[in-house]
Structure 1
């Protein structure tokens, strides 16, 4: 399904044997970033890589931001790991590959950067894939020293600037919080996280449950995001319908 904020973003599509994009979902506590999943198994593979040049499309300026000016729909999609070349380009480790949710880094007109408590934003003048990274020229970053100063910054993109998906694709970030209900109408809990196990994406669902002493708490169940189990994803109704028993 497709998605990584916000801390998060990625996309997905439940397929019998679909290779999905993977944000940094290596631990259940980690939010998905930019990856996607496919909803059914008709087609495998991702979208083609994008190459977007926005040079001259916006004023080339880096500006300071505050929590109040930060986009409400900001989704974390990567992190600046180094400078690239001598002319101010930055190198970003994307949380999902370009073509698999990382496309947002390539197409967004403005990047939002957070480093510690410091927030800033800059227009993306040029962005392209380079090996397994994304490199970009940001407005207001004129040389290598300025690019190096951005190392460690977490990169966010407004969800509204994510590339459009096909009907059977979903960004991970859009699946978080959805109710999961089985074919018998039993509520199995809410999607708390998405996990990539290498073969396909997995829904991590949390639900209310008592511990051995009867004390109220939460438990989790994992449901593979593949077509044989995931039947319907209804974002408008905030619900996913699955073929899965409550006692599995």
Structure 2
């Protein structure tokens, strides 16, 4: 498993033009217009290497942003956004989501997969019983958890390979799990 990058909308989760939510602005940093970034990339400073950014504000307005500069500090990632020149403008960016094209993320290492690439895949158990589709994956500290949903039913499956997640076939659009669907 590689970077826990959450997914972002769209019905075709594997389309080449798909955008991925990688972080958000959480406030102003200093008085010169820098912003604090909550990054969901691993490492968290990797967000600065993915370009261009598409920013989405609380009202759903979007704009592409080129020329972001930033750095990692002891308290997180700080960025300079073009056109944001003072603390008031930086504070007005609070809550803005940061998206990048899925295509700019590096290819996962052999045997690894981005969480976002699992979203929407069909989940079947080793006996061939359909358990819905991958809704999302989240960390717990001990291990990651794959969430499969079918209608109102939801399964929380420890993302432990190969014990519970026995196979991932991105080409076939399927995750096979060793999990009792009645559990």
Q: State TM-score, norm by structure 1.
A: 0.62
- State the Cα RMSD in Å: 2.3
Aligned pairs, number:
173
1:159 matched to 2:93: no
- Which has the higher relative contact order, 1 or 2, with Cα contacts under 8 A spaced 6 or more apart? 1
2:27, 2:90 within 8 Å by CA — same for their partners in 1? yes
1:87 matched to 2:36: no
1:181, 1:188 within 8 Å by CA — same for their partners in 2? yes
1:223, 1:229 within 8 Å by CA — same for their partners in 2? yes
Shift of 1:236: 1.1
Equivalences for residues 47-66 of structure 1 within 5 A? none
- Which residue of the partner structure matches residue 13 of structure 2? none
27, 32, 42: which one aligns with 1:98: 42
Shift of 1:161: 1.7
CA distance in structure 1 between the partners assigned to 2:165 and 2:75 by the alignment: 31
Shift of 1:230: 0.9
Map Cα deviations across residues 31-60 of structure 1 (whole Å, 9 max, x no partner): xxxxxxxxxxxxxxxxxxxxxxxxxxxxxx
- Which residue of the partner structure matches residue 232 of structure 1? 167
CA distance in structure 1 between the partners assigned to 2:133 and 2:60 by the alignment: 31
- Which residue of the partner structure matches residue 6 of structure 1? 8
SS at match of 1:169: coil
Q: State TM-score, norm by structure 2.
A: 0.81
CA distance in structure 1 between the partners assigned to 2:124 and 2:46 by the alignment: 31
Stretches of structure 1 that go unaligned for 5 or more consecutive residues are 8-70, 209-217
CA distance in structure 1 between the partners assigned to 2:150 and 2:134 by the alignment: 9
223, 226, 239: which one aligns with 2:157: 223
1:4, 1:173 within 8 Å by CA — same for their partners in 2? yes
Map Cα deviations across residues 148-186 of structure 1 (whole Å, 9 max, x no partner): 231221221221122332122222221111111222222
